[in-house]
Structure 1
Amino acid sequence: MLRLAVVLLLLANAGYYAWSHGLLQAWGLGPASQAEPQRLQQQIAPQNLRLLPPEHMVPEPSAPPASSAPPASTANDSAASAEPLACLQAGVFDARQADALRQAAASLPAGSWSLEPVPVPGRWMVYMGRFADEDALAKKRAELRALKIAYDRPGPALEPGLSLGRYSTAEGALRALAQLGEQGVRRARVVQERGDTPNYTLHLPAVSEAQRAQAEAALRTVLAGKTLRPCG
């Protein structure tokens, strides 16, 4: 058996050698030939092939040179966004002052400021007066001192008279009047010193140092002595 296997192996090697070297081409056996005639047969439309001189060759597009520096606009935007912004306010201003502020602030960037309404409630007073003359006023002051009751001037609109206290509600003023009556005070009454009035606060929600300087320059003459301060 071993001898038969050796014989078969030799025959197989001899057959492969003859096949691979084209010795069996006459019988149609052998590998595909890579000789030049066979390569020419495999070409597709060779008549369309043209050779161009170097000057007609189109260069490949080159990528733009890399740059580590960001565009100028991006750098400026980054610098601007890095600048800290502050919230500022000033007030309170009455309606007349608010009108002047609106006119002066028109030169500032749109949306950089606003006038926020601040409702100011009315105020009531426990009041005595008006007295006939300065002598009657002086006499009443002496009576109040004897009762150890504090008093104050009521303001130009209620002179000559005396204020025995100011209160944010009419109910508070009435309670104070009742207590003063128990202490011996007579002929006092509650009056409304001031009605509800709309006041305003100037608000700048987010400004840089440069914008703050611009606002202060534009509003200096209409801030009525008030200054821009941090919000809160």
Structure 2
Amino acid sequence: MLLRTTALALLFANCAYFAWSQGLLAPLGLAPESAREPQRLAQQIRPEALRVTPVAPEPAPSAPVAPVPPAAPASQAEASTPAIPAATCLQAGPLDNTQAEGLRRALAAGGVPTAAWALEPIAPPDRWIVYMGRYTDADALEKKRAELRALRVDTAPITQAALAPGLSLGVFSTQESASEHLAQLTRRGVRTARVVPEHREPSSVRLRLPAADAALREQVQGLLAGRPLAPC
């Protein structure tokens, strides 16, 4: 009986609390305080006049501006600019004797100043000779030739005046090749030969313009029959 009474009491209390919390007992003056506080709305002054204004974003920091270097003095600016040569050394060739003589006449007839051009000899590159000599006379030369013939060594007469009369045992384009040939002849019994340079005489010429401006270049180019002018 007591347990039943307690359960009914708890049920009645829960129902009473629910009715009170939901405001069902407000007509009896039993209701919780409202959390909406309507009295605060009554205290507002013209709420319809309020406007929300967006805040402008802060400008991003600008990149630092590099300082402008001061202008260089006129003398320094001129020194830093490479000078353009007013005249250039030019040349054309090789020309044989007949071509050189024809060009010489054409330059003179065209009024090209003689100081503006020159025909320079072109010497062939030196060669190297395995050489024997000089001999006092033709008999001494023939005797040495016979000795070399017995050793089966080929010889040829020397045409260079500074080395005649003498014998050539071989002509080579480099000193190393001539020295190697001399070593072979020494092993075969040749004793007095040596390597000497052979200076050959010029066989052609080239036209040289030491200081040719544009006008001189154009004038001379027309006299070269298609041969190009090239830098010296």
Q: TM-score, normalised by structure 1?
A: 0.38
Point out the structure with max Rg over C-alpha: 2
Bigger share in helix: 1
- Give the TM-score taking structure 2 as reference length: 0.38
